[in-house]
């Protein structure tokens, strides 16, 4: 028959093992989450770069429309700020 000390020691070992396993699972999950966040960030940066290149290309191909839009936006902003 096990003594109370032996039972307590055995229980403590089981709790410690369960805690280590939980920490390991959390670390693995955290690593997967970190990777997903990194991948999403990379895709977002790539998409933003594509949009920037597309806008610059459009501005170069249509300079008069670009200037006209900038003037119209400036006039609208000026009239809104005057109020």
Sort 59 into a burial class: Cβ within 10 Å, 0-12 / 13-18 / 19+: middle
2 has a pLDDT exceeding 70: no
Q: Which residues contact 10 (CB under 8 A, 6 or more apart)?
A: 2
pTM for this structure? Answer: 0.52
> What is the tens place of the pLDDT at every residue in 12-54?
788 778 778 888 888 788 778 888 889 999 999 999 999 999 9
Largest CA distance in the chain: 94
d(CA 37, CA 30): 10
In terms of residues, how long is the chain? 83
């Amino acid at each position: 028959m096990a003594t109370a000390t032996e039972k307590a020691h055995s229980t403590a070992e089981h709790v410690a093992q369960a805690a280590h396993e939980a920490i390991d699972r959390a670390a693995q999950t955290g690593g997967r989450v970190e990777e997903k966040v990194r991948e999403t960030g990379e895709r977002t940066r790539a998409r933003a770069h594509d949009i920037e290149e597309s806008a610059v290309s459009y501005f170069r191909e249509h300079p008069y429309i670009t200037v006209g839009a900038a003037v119209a936006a400036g006039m609208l902003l000026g009239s809104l700020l005057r109020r």
